[in-house]
Amino acid sequence: MSLENIISEAIKTAMRAKDRVALDSLRAVKAQILNLHTEARGVEVTPEQEIAILQRMIKQRKDSFEQFSAQGRNDLAEVEEAQMKVIEQFLPKQLSPEELEAEIRNIISETGAESAKDLGKVMGAASKALAGKSDGKSISEMAKKLLS
């Protein structure tokens, strides 16, 4: 079942439950997926592209959450946090820091990276291999730590 169908079913469930936050979040996800289909113009949308949409939406909400919290707007921050939790349900299981470290160590050995100069090589491989399993910031921080 495609992500679009899963989201549609979740929208129906949220409507029945009268869960406003979930409904708003899911409608936003569906809109982004429909935009991707429109841009693709008949080309099949891959699960990786769908996961990238979810990650981008979570990052946007995380940034908004941090800004609202810093400004003391807890009412708006709570909405962003709740929407983040709804969207995160549709991502694959995220790697723990230990699992991420092990994966990046494997990628470093596969690419033959030895120093911080090889960070780009490691990041390229890690971004592809760990897409959807971890965010880019975590991957980057771990790669820098292991290469230094």
pLDDT tens-digit series, residues 84-124? 999 999 988 888 888 888 888 888 888 888 878 888 888 88
pLDDT of residue 115: 79
Contact 146, 130 (CB under 8 A): no
Pair of tokens at residue 107:
């990628």
Which of 44, 70, 89 is the last residue in one of the domains? 89
Q: Domain of residue 126: give its range.
A: 97-147
Same domain, 52 and 79: yes
Q: Output the domain CATH number for residue 125.
A: 1.10.10.410
Contact 51, 132 (CB under 8 A): yes
Terminal C-alpha separation, the chain? 43
Q: pLDDT digits over 22-66, tens only? A: 999 999 999 999 898 888 787 788 888 888 899 899 999 999 999
- Secondary structure letter of residue 44 according to DSSP: P
Which of 89, 108, 135 is the last residue in one of the domains? 89
Q: pLDDT digits over 137-146, tens only? A: 888 888 888 8
The answer to whether the Cα torsion of 115, 119, 121, 125 is positive or negative is positive
The number of distinct structural domains making up the chain is 2
Q: How far apart are CA 77 and CA 20, in angstroms?
A: 16
Same domain, 102 and 76: no
At residue 68 the predicted structure's pLDDT band, cuts being 50, 70 and 90, is very high
Pair of tokens at residue 52:
């990238």
Write b or e for each residue in 13-33: b if 16 or more Cβ atoms lie within 10 A of its Cβ, otherwise e.
ebeeeebebbbebbebbbebb
**Helices marked H in 1-96:** 3-17, 20-40, 47-70, 74-88
- C-alpha to C-alpha distances, 111 to 17, 32, 106, 125, 127, nearest whole angstrom: 49, 34, 9, 8, 13
Pair of tokens at residue 23:
């409904």
Same domain, 62 and 7: yes
Q: pTM for the whole thing?
A: 0.75
